[in-house]
Copies of this chain bind each other. A is one copy, B any other.
Amino acid sequence: MSKEVTYTVRVEFGDCDPARIVWFPNFFRWIDAASRHFFIECGVPPWAETEKTLGVIGTPLVDTKARFLKTATYGDRLDIVTSIGEWRGKSFTQRYRVMKGEDLLLECEEVRIFAGRRDDGSIFAQPIPEGIRALCE
């Protein structure tokens, strides 16, 4: 079982579009922040440190799917509940429920990797670092 960590967002005027609702790419902005926040809250060091100790520069996205159930607007306070769905060999799934109080606004499931960087600058998927996995469970 994974830990569950909540990241809270205030929706601002500029996050909304002319339809007066959150412009959807902003949800992905917040989900990415919630992803990193999850690891920080679990005790994983910042990527600038893991780059030196584990060669892990971050957790880039490989795949995402999201269902948008209800809209939000400025003044709303959202809670993004984040957990790990599954650990695979060289990737993992991360899950998000974006809540406004008791209302589920959005569900998202991603596949991410722990990325290393090659000498030529390109990135590759590292095997899941056992130490990081242990901190998240």
Q: Which residues of A does B touch, CB under 8 Å?
A: 10, 12-14, 16-21, 23-26, 28-29, 32-33, 36, 40, 46-47, 57-58, 60-68, 71, 74-75, 115, 121, 123
Inter-chain CA distance A66–B65, complex, in Å, is 6
User: Complex formed: what's the CA distance from A26 to B71 in Å?
Assistant: 20
Residues of B within 8 A of A47 (CB): 13
State the Cβ distance, A95 to closest chain B Cβ, in Å.
14
Q: Do B19 and A71 touch (CB < 8 A)?
A: no
Chain B residues near A58: list those with CB within 8 A.
13, 19
A17 contact from B17, B28, B71, Cβ within 8 A: B17
**Across-interface contacts of A75 in B (CB, < 8 A):** 40, 46
Query: Is A63 in contact with B68, judged by CB distance below 8 angstroms?
Result: yes
Beyond the given pairs A12-B29, A12-B32, 11 more chain A to chain B contacts, judged by CB atoms under 8 angstroms and listed by A's residue number, are A13-B32, A13-B33, A19-B60, A20-B121, A21-B123, A24-B28, A24-B32, A25-B25, A63-B66, A64-B68, A65-B66
Q: Which residue of B lies closest to A122 (CB)?
A: B71
- A29 to B10 alpha-carbon distance, docked (Å): 13
14 intermolecular pairs with C-beta atoms under 8 Å apart:
A13-B47, A14-B17, A14-B25, A14-B33, A16-B17, A18-B18, A18-B74, A20-B121, A24-B60, A25-B32, A40-B75, A61-B68, A64-B66, A65-B65
